[in-house]
Structures are given as structure tokens and as C-alpha cells.
Amino acid sequence: MRLFVFRGFIFLQLFAALSAQANSQYFDIPVWTGDEESCPTPRSIQFNGEVFRSPAKSEGVDWVGVLPGDGIANVVEFDKAVFVLTEENSETRGFLISCIYKTVEERYLKMRPNTGNRHDEIMWIVRPSSWKRSGDFSSTRILVCADKAERGCAFFLK
């Protein structure tokens, strides 16, 4: 009988924890399941003569960027991603300003997800531990991620 009660108690605790994880008010994460986006890898970025592009995971979205000036530039390295928090008391909700890359010519390319006409979408950071408050900006709402892993600077589009 004690074993049965103990197992029931363990099951109840596990169920309570799983229920809390599904609700965003406790963990500041989106409730839906969807495609996790992240900054494209340098090898996935293609230059078509005017615009740099990379496919995204979300339907109807792609990554775009332009370099000012002339010439063709090869993207060689991911530098960082910049995110701005837009909601009070949230450590994960806001907008991705850009993913920044270095080119072979030591220039910087900024890329953003092109969501079409959905300009006001809130985004959620997937792994807050990868994002740090930026020392380059005066605002405490600007986060930077320099994680070079393929999905290190991940987020969800709403």
C-alpha cells in the first residue's frame, strides 16, 4: 500500500510539473508548437547579385540582407544576433533586430527574417541562457547572442 501511495505521489508531482510547462505564464514561453527559427549558417546564405538570401523553417518566411556599396561578398562567419525585449517583465519576448555576419572582405552583413506583411509579430527567445544583455547599447532591453552553434540563437515567430 505504501508503495502505491508513493508512486501516486511521484506521478502527481510529475503531472503538475508537465502541466506548468505547457502554460506560458509560468515559464515565459509560447504555448504553441511551431518551427524554431535561428540565424542562418554562413554556408546557407546565397548572394543573387543584389540581395543575400537564406531559407527559413517557417512557411512564407525567408532571411534577407543587403550590403551597402558594390561588389560581391562571401559570408564567412556568424558574428552575433541582436534582439530587443518589448514587453515589461519579460526576458524572452520581443523582436530580432538582425543576425550579423562577417564577409571575406571584413564587412558586416545584417540579415532579418522577411515575414512578408506580418511586421508586428512578437518573437520568443528559445534558450534565454544564450542571450546576454548588451554592453554596446545604453538600453537594458537589448540582448546579444554570439553562440556559434547552428541553432544557438534560436527563437519562435508568433
Residue 51 domain-assigned (yes or no): yes
| Whole-angstrom distance, CA of residue 66 vs CA of residue 10 | 55
Please tell me the total count of domains within the chain.
1
Q: What average pLDDT does this structure show over 18-31? A: 40
**103 in any annotated domain:** yes
Residue 23 resides in a domain:
no
- Is residue 15, in this structure, part of any structural domain at all? no
pLDDT band at 117 (very low <50, low <70, confident <90, very high): low
Which pairs with CB-CB distance under 8 Å and at least 24 residues apart come from 66-71? 67/103, 67/107, 67/109, 71/105
Residue 6 within any structural domain of the chain: no
Confidence (pLDDT) at 99: 96
Residue 85 forms part of a structural domain = yes
* Residue-number span of the structural domain to which 135 is assigned: 32-157
Q: Note whether 66 and 107 are within 8 A (CB).
A: no
Half-sphere exposure for 138 (CA within 13 Å, toward CB): 0
Residue 106, in any domain of the structure:
yes
Please state the rounded mean pLDDT for residues 66-74. Answer: 78
Domain assignment of residue 140, yes or no:
yes
Reported as a pLDDT band with limits 50, 70 and 90, residue 90 is confident
Percent pLDDT > 90 in the chain is 34
Global model pTM greater than 0.85: no
